[in-house]
């Protein structure tokens, strides 16, 4: 299935993109995040990356569906 | 019509057929001022100018508030206590305009019409109080007329802002932007926490500070900036770095906390303490050209509901390492000020159940809904590794406090006897906790550290910030 992923802050930096559409066989948000960590070498563990689907923060067992916008948000410290 | 008179003022009939609301204001000489006994007053006017300015004022009031008729008579010369110094009569179609117009006129009159007042005190001394004198205009809304016109502010909203107590934790890039707007909007009391000195590398984004202020304390310079904008703002400075030991005390007197720090540890500490103390927190962070902002209210989801695992500082980058553009910090700081104003004024749309992500490079923003998490440590006001009141050993307490009291709260039948305790006060006999007075730092001890933790937690929620709990109880002695 295809999902649209947006990256923020350090994830965007490490991915080198702010958004992309990708096809995935991930079932849950957890699967997708782990897959992206492995593929792009994100330095944050999955426990520190929050996922929002279609504008709402979801838990890691959330089941993603075709065409959804998935936003990945790390904590940010700067001030 | 504006008139000056050396004679006692007789209130004249005042009619206007197109008006339904009539308000008359009489200002009289009272027997005290600023805590001193006043025996008489003396008014002196620059007559021509006072009349010209008074008539101008009336024309403006009529236009601004829709008044159909206005009359002002001001007394000059010597007046005894109880005599009438000024009478303002206004007429308007409805009472609301009449009240508002009359109040506006008296504020303006004191501010700009050249009439000076000399107060003669009971001890024989006297003092001139000029136009525009700080004491006289302290309650004036002149500076805020443009925002008072907004239907969701009005005089009532302005009063809410004046009564508000806002604490800025950190006056760096975010705080620098939030402060001027909060003060200019009429926030009455402002606390400023920052232990840093102004550095030359701050100047590109921390716009409160000028190049010639490098090396000076940020809290103090920020306070000076605030007073320049509004001389009536009450400012309290805390030139220290906020941490788990001083945070509760610093937060105690404030209702809205603006987190302008760049430390995740501090953000999560503030989050848990605001939950504990029932305060509202607006927290924001920036990363290069992006910002995140959310608001935590006492009965809403907190920062830790969103990030249950507290990230370590350093894992996500900081301004000093990664760089930051001033306008990004500025934009997010102004968003924070906006949240505070919305919260105080009760305007809908607070980010209390969402987080706003702003990307200033692309212009995109995402508002993401967030919810409460069950058993959230932050919501409970407890963050184990940050819990400020747990003492690991009595030696730690000694090095931290020097002198402190030790209270054993075990029941009387519990053993062994603890020789170090200054007082044995069983928990079951403590009664109403709000009546307990602590004389300096006090360490409470129980058998395991659990009961003392709960007790200290409750004491601190009741404002007793000198209470500490010994970890592991008697075993930890
Ligand atoms: Zn929470």
Among B404, B424, B405, residue whose Cα is nearest residue B413: B424
CATH class of B2-140: alpha beta
CATH class of B155-369: alpha beta
Alpha carbons B293 and B284: distance in angstroms, whole number? 4
Q: Using an 8 Å Cβ cutoff, are B256 and B340 in contact?
A: yes
The predicted model gives B409-413 an average pLDDT of 92
Distance to chain B for A38, nearest Cα, Å:
18
Residue-wise pLDDT tens digits, B136-179: 444 578 889 899 989 899 999 999 999 999 999 999 999 999 99
Query: Quick check: B359 and A79 CB within 8 A?
Result: no
> Buried b vs exposed e over B457-473: b needs ≥16 C-beta within 10 Å?
bebbeeebbbbbbbbbb
Domain boundaries, chain B: 2-140, 155-369, 389-476
Query: Quick check: A55 and B322 CB within 8 A?
Result: no
CA B32 to ligand 1 center in whole angstroms = 51
Among B272, B285, B286, residue whose Cα is nearest residue B244: B272
pLDDT, residue B383, reads 63
B261 at A interface, C-beta within 8 A: yes
pLDDT above 70: percentage of residues in chain B: 94
- Its domain, for residue A50, covers 2-73
pLDDT, residue B369, reads 97
CATH class of B389-476: alpha beta
CA angle B415, B418, B421 (to 5 degrees): 140
Residue-wise pLDDT tens digits, A1-38: 999 999 998 899 899 999 999 999 999 999 999 999 99
Beta-ladder partners of A7: A72
Round the average pLDDT of chain B to a whole number and report it: 89
B282 at A interface, C-beta within 8 A: no
Least confident of B118-127, B253-262, B287-296, B445-454: B118-127
pLDDT, residue B335, reads 98
Alpha carbons B195 and B212: distance in angstroms, whole number? 19
pLDDT, residue B270, reads 95
Q: In terms of DSSP H, where are the helices of B214-360?
A: 218-229, 247-251, 264-277, 303-306, 319-322, 326-345
pLDDT at residue B124 above 90?
Answer: no
B173 at A interface, C-beta within 8 A: yes
Q: Select the more confidently predicted residue: B463 or B193.
A: B193
Alpha carbons B370 and B353: distance in angstroms, whole number? 5
Q: Select the more confidently predicted residue: A68 or B32.
A: A68
pLDDT at residue B387 above 80?
Answer: no
pLDDT band at B307 (very low <50, low <70, confident <90, very high): very high
Specify the DSSP class assigned to residue B196.
P
Residue-wise pLDDT tens digits, B95-106: 988 998 998 899
Q: Select the more confidently predicted residue: B464 or A39.
A: A39
Query: Quick check: A78 and B313 CB within 8 A?
Result: no
For residue A10, the chain B residues in CB contact (below 8 A) are 287, 316-317
For residue A18, the chain B residues in CB contact (below 8 A) are 359, 362
Alpha carbons B89 and B412: distance in angstroms, whole number? 74
Q: If interface means Cβ-Cβ distance under 8 Å, which residues of chain A face chain B?
A: 6, 8-10, 12-13, 18, 43-44, 47-48, 50, 52, 55-57, 71, 73-79
Cβ-proximal residues to A27 (8 Å cutoff; 6+ apart), any chain: A63, A64
Q: Please indicate, yes or no, if residue A37 is contained in any of the structural domains.
A: yes
pLDDT above 90: percentage of residues in chain B: 58
For residue B313, the chain A residues in CB contact (below 8 A) are 77
CATH number of the domain within which A36 lies: 3.10.20.30
Q: Using an 8 Å Cβ cutoff, are B261 and B242 in contact?
A: yes
Q: What is this model's ipTM?
A: 0.86
pLDDT band at B322 (very low <50, low <70, confident <90, very high): low
pLDDT, residue B318, reads 52
pLDDT at residue B20 above 80?
Answer: yes
Q: Please indicate, yes or no, if residue A78 is contained in any of the structural domains.
A: no
The predicted model gives B217-242 an average pLDDT of 90
Distance to chain B for A50, nearest Cα, Å:
7
B319 in active site: yes
B324 at A interface, C-beta within 8 A: yes
CA B167 to ligand 1 center in whole angstroms = 21
pLDDT, residue B77, reads 93
In 3-state terms, what secondary structure has residue B357? Answer: strand
pLDDT, residue B135, reads 47
Q: Please indicate, yes or no, if residue A79 is contained in any of the structural domains.
A: no
CA angle B276, B282, B286 (to 5 degrees): 125
The predicted model gives B241-269 an average pLDDT of 92
Q: Please indicate, yes or no, if residue A18 is contained in any of the structural domains.
A: yes
In 3-state terms, what secondary structure has residue B173? Answer: helix
Domain tally for chain A?
1
Beta-ladder partners of B190: B166, B235
pLDDT at residue B111 above 90?
Answer: no
Q: Using an 8 Å Cβ cutoff, are B238 and B250 in contact?
A: yes
pLDDT, residue B256, reads 98
Residue-wise pLDDT tens digits, B204-215: 999 999 998 899
pLDDT, residue B375, reads 92
Active-site annotation holder among B305, B319, B376, B446: B319
């Amino acid at each position: 299935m295809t999902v649209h992923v947006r990256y923020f802050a350090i994830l965007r930096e490490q991915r080198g993109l702010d958004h992309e559409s990708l096809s995935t066989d991930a079932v849950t948000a957890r699967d997708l995040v782990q897959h992206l960590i492995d593929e792009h070498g994100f330095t944050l563990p999955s426990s520190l990356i929050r996922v929002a689907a279609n504008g709402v923060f979801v838990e890691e067992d959330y089941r993603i569906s075709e065409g959804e916008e998935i936003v990945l948000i790390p904590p940010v410290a700067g001030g | 019509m504006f008139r000056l008179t050396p004679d006692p003022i007789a209130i004249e009939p005042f009619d206007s057929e197109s008006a339904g609301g009539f308000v008359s204001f009489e200002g009289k000489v009272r027997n005290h001022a600023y805590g001193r006994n006043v025996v008489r007053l003396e008014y002196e006017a620059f007559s021509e100018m006072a009349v010209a300015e008074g008539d101008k004022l009336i024309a403006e009031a009529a236009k601004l508030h829709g008044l159909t008729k206005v009359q002002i008579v001001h007394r000059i010369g010597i007046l005894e206590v109880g005599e009438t110094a000024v009478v303002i009569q206004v007429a308007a179609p409805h009472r609301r305009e009449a009240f508002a117009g009359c109040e506006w006129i008296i504020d303006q009159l004191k501010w700009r019409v050249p009439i000076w007042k000399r107060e003669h005190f009971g001890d024989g001394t006297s003092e001139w109080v000029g136009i525009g004198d700080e004491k006289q205009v302290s309650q004036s809304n002149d500076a805020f007329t443009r925002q008072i016109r907004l239907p969701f502010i009005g005089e009532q909203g302005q009063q809410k802002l004046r009564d508000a107590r806002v604490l800025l934790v950190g006056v760096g890039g975010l705080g620098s932007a939030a402060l001027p707007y909060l003060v200019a909007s009429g926030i009455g009391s402002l606390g400023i926490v920052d232990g840093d000195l102004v550095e030359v590398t701050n100047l590109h984004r921390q716009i409160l500070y000028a190049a010639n202020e490098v090396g000076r304390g940020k809290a103090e310079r920020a306070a000076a900036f605030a007073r320049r904008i509004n001389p009536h703002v009450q400012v309290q400075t805390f030139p220290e770095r906020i941490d788990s030991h001083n945070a509760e005390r610093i937060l105690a007197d404030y209702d809205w906390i603006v987190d302008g720090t760049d430390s995740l540890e501090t953000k999560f500490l503030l989050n848990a303490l605001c939950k504990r103390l029932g305060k509202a927190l607006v927290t924001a962070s920036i990363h290069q050209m992006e910002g995140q902002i959310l608001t935590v209210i006492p009965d809403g989801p907190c920062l830790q509901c969103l990030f249950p695992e507290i990230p370590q500082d350093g894992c996500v980058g900081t301004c000093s390492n990664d760089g930051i553009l001033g306008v990004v910090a500025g934009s997010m700081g102004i968003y924070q000020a906006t949240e505070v104003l919305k919260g105080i004024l009760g305007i809908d749309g607070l980010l209390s159940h969402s987080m706003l992500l702003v990307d200033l490079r692309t212009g995109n923003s995402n508002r993401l809904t967030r919810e409460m998490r069950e058993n959230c440590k932050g919501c409970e006001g407890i963050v184990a590794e940050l819990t400020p009141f747990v003492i690991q050993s009595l030696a730690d307490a000694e090095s931290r406090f020097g002198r402190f009291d030790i209270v054993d709260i075990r029941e009387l039948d519990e053993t062994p006897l603890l020789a170090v305790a200054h007082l044995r006060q069983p928990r079951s006999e403590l009664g109403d906790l709000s009546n307990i007075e602590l004389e300096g730092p006090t360490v409470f001890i129980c058998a395991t550290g659990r009961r003392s933790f709960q007790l200290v937690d409750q004491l601190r929620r009741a404002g007793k910030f000198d209470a500490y709990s010994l970890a592991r109880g008697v075993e930890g002695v």
